[in-house]
Amino acid sequence: MSNISKQRVVLVTGGSKGIGKEIAMQFAKHGDQVVITYGWGSIEEEDIIAEFTSKGLPAPYIRQSDVINNDDTKELLEDIKARFGRLDVFISNVSFANLVKSLDDYNEGSLLKSIEYSCWPMVEYTRQMKAVIGEYPKYVIALSSHGPDRFHKNYDFAAATKALNEVLVKYLTYHFYEEEVIFNVLRTRPVLTDSLLSTLGDEWKEFIAKYDIPGTHIELEEFAQLAYIMCSGLMDGIRGQTIIADKGYDFAEGLQRLYVDQEELGL
């Protein structure tokens, strides 16, 4: 049976745009109270709230909070405790890494900063939730990509952090087993977002339109639905795993597919 008969409180870090916002909307669609954070820069909170409410979704609570700033984290969690009294789901979505265009960009400080932003919050936020709120969340989900297994342009450090998340989630599952915290990582094929284009370049969109098979890409809503169902109570037997959303297309991707479909693609 599903354990979501009552409204839950869901924290999505980096949830003001892209995949994070879509996941937040999916939880809101099912009546959950969503807390969205963003790290720096300016966003129009009113526009995000209007986007939710225009779709009949409960308005998110939005707060600026840098995931690597311990004071920010403590204040955020104290605020969540005061406002809602609980936190049931944590989506660790922030991904930040310097682009690596050549070996000249390999820098220890940049790699460590990438880990600090994109990997460590999954651990530190979870620990701080117990310290501040008084209990751990039931579900912790981190996001990944094909970067650990496949070459992606400019993606060296980002891929390294994804790989680290996928390893740590197994060990965290062991260490938190008695606490009944369910950790998993969700991995997807490239999803067309501003973040992806900033990494691969705007020309990626045109390239994919020319050489990919229509319908094989994962849409934002599809990936968000996967995040929701993993926290629904129906999938609690799956723990410490990396779940891959690829529509089964990864098997047919690559040079062999281009070879077979070269006439159709005009190669």
Q: Where are the domains of the chain?
A: 9-265
- In this predicted structure, what is the pLDDT of residue 40? 72
Below-70 pLDDT ranges, the chain: 1-5, 41-42, 191-201, 204-205, 213-215
Contact call for residues 169 and 185 (beta carbons, < 8 A): yes
End-to-end CA distance of the chain: 51
Give the CA-trace dihedral at 105, 111, 113, 116, to 10 degrees.
160
Alpha carbon 15 to its chain's center: 9
The span from the CA of 183 to the CA of 175, in Å, is: 11
The span from the CA of 64 to the CA of 68, in Å, is: 12
Contact call for residues 64 and 39 (beta carbons, < 8 A): yes
The span from the CA of 163 to the CA of 165, in Å, is: 5
- In this predicted structure, what is the pLDDT of residue 3? 46
The span from the CA of 116 to the CA of 96, in Å, is: 9
The span from the CA of 119 to the CA of 139, in Å, is: 16
Backbone φ and ψ of 13, nearest 5°: -75, 145
Contact call for residues 137 and 89 (beta carbons, < 8 A): yes
174 three-state secondary structure: helix
Between 70-84 and 120-133, two packed helices, what is the crossing angle to 10 degrees?
A: 50
| Greatest C-alpha distance within the chain | 62
- In this predicted structure, what is the pLDDT of residue 242? 97
| Neighbour-count burial of 3, counting CB atoms closer than 10 A to its CB (0-12 exposed, 13-18 middle, 19+ buried) | middle
pTM, full prediction: 0.90
CA-nearest of 165, 140, 139, 160 to 148 is 160
Count CB atoms within 10 A of the CB of residue 170.
Answer: 14
**Cα angle value 247/251/255 (rounded, 5°):** 125
The span from the CA of 116 to the CA of 121, in Å, is: 7
9-265: CATH homologous superfamily? NAD(P)-binding Rossmann-like Domain (3.40.50.720)
- In this predicted structure, what is the pLDDT of residue 91? 98
